[in-house]
Structure 1
Amino acid sequence: MKLLEANLTLHRAWQALLWLVLACALIGHTALVHAQQDSFTRIKAVKLEPARNAQHPGWNLAAEFDIQLGQRLREALDRGLPLQFAVDFKLTKNRWYWMDEETASASYTLNLSYNALTRTYRLAMPSGVYNVARYEDALAQMVRVVDWPVLRKDQVKMGEPYTAQVRFRLVLTELPKPFQISALVNSEWDLSSEWLSFEFTPRQELLK
Structure 2
Amino acid sequence: MITTAFTTLCWKKLQPFDRLVSGALGRLWLCMGLLLGLCCTPLAWADTPVEMQGLRVERVDNAVTISANMRFDLPPSLEEALLKGVSLYFVTEVDVVRERWYFYDKRVAHAERHVRLFYMPLTRRWRVNISPRPFSAGGLGMSLGQSYDTVDEAMTAVQRIAQWPIAQAADIDADAKQNINLIFKLDLTQLPRPLQIGAAGQNEWNLNLNKSMRLVLEPAR
Query: Is the 8 Å Cα contact of residues 48 and 59 (structure 1) preserved in structure 2?
Result: yes
Residue 129 of structure 1 deviates from its aligned partner by 2.0
Residue 110 of structure 1 deviates from its aligned partner by 0.9
Q: Distance in 2 between matches of 1:120 and 1:149?
A: 29
Deviations 1:79-116 (A, max 9, x none): 00011111111111122233222111111111100011
Q: Secondary structure at the match of 1:69?
A: coil
Match of 1:36 among 42, 46, 55: 46
Q: Kindly, what percent of the aligned residue pairs are identical?
A: 25
Task: State the aligned residue count.
Answer: 168
- The aligned residue for residue 95 of structure 1 is 100
Does residue 109 of structure 1 match 2:114? Answer: yes
- The aligned residue for residue 56 of structure 2 is 47
Q: Where in structure 1 are there 5+ consecutive unaligned residues?
A: 1-30
Q: Distance in 2 between matches of 1:122 and 1:73?
A: 15
Residue 202 of structure 1 deviates from its aligned partner by 5.8
Larger Rg: 1
Q: Distance in 2 between matches of 1:83 and 1:121?
A: 12
Residue 188 of structure 1 deviates from its aligned partner by 1.4
Q: Distance in 2 between matches of 1:58 and 1:169?
A: 24
Residue 69 of structure 1 deviates from its aligned partner by 1.8
Give every structure 1 segment of 4 or more consecutive aligned residues whose post-TM-superposition deviation is greater than 4 Å.
none
Query: Is the 8 Å Cα contact of residues 58 and 217 (structure 2) preserved in structure 1?
Result: no
Query: Is the 8 Å Cα contact of residues 45 and 63 (structure 1) preserved in structure 2?
Result: yes
Q: Distance in 1 between matches of 2:168 and 2:207?
A: 30
Query: Is the 8 Å Cα contact of residues 43 and 196 (structure 1) preserved in structure 2?
Result: no
RMSD of aligned residue pairs (Cα, Å): 2.2
Deviations 1:7-39 (A, max 9, x none): xxxxxxxxxxxxxxxxxxxxxxxx87x5137x3
Residue 140 of structure 1 deviates from its aligned partner by 1.5
Q: Distance in 1 between matches of 2:85 and 2:205?
A: 16
TM-score by length of 1: 0.73
Q: Secondary structure at the match of 1:178?
A: helix
Does residue 70 of structure 1 match 2:75? Answer: yes
Q: Secondary structure at the match of 2:123?
A: coil
- The aligned residue for residue 212 of structure 2 is 197
Q: Distance in 2 between matches of 1:114 and 1:191?
A: 20
TM-score by length of 2: 0.69
Q: Where in structure 2 are there 5+ consecutive unaligned residues?
A: 1-41, 132-142
Query: Is the 8 Å Cα contact of residues 120 and 133 (structure 1) preserved in structure 2?
Result: yes
Deviations 1:32-84 (A, max 9, x none): 7x5137x3322123121111x3xxx1211111110222121111111000111
Q: Distance in 2 between matches of 1:58 and 1:132?
A: 30
Q: Secondary structure at the match of 2:204?
A: helix
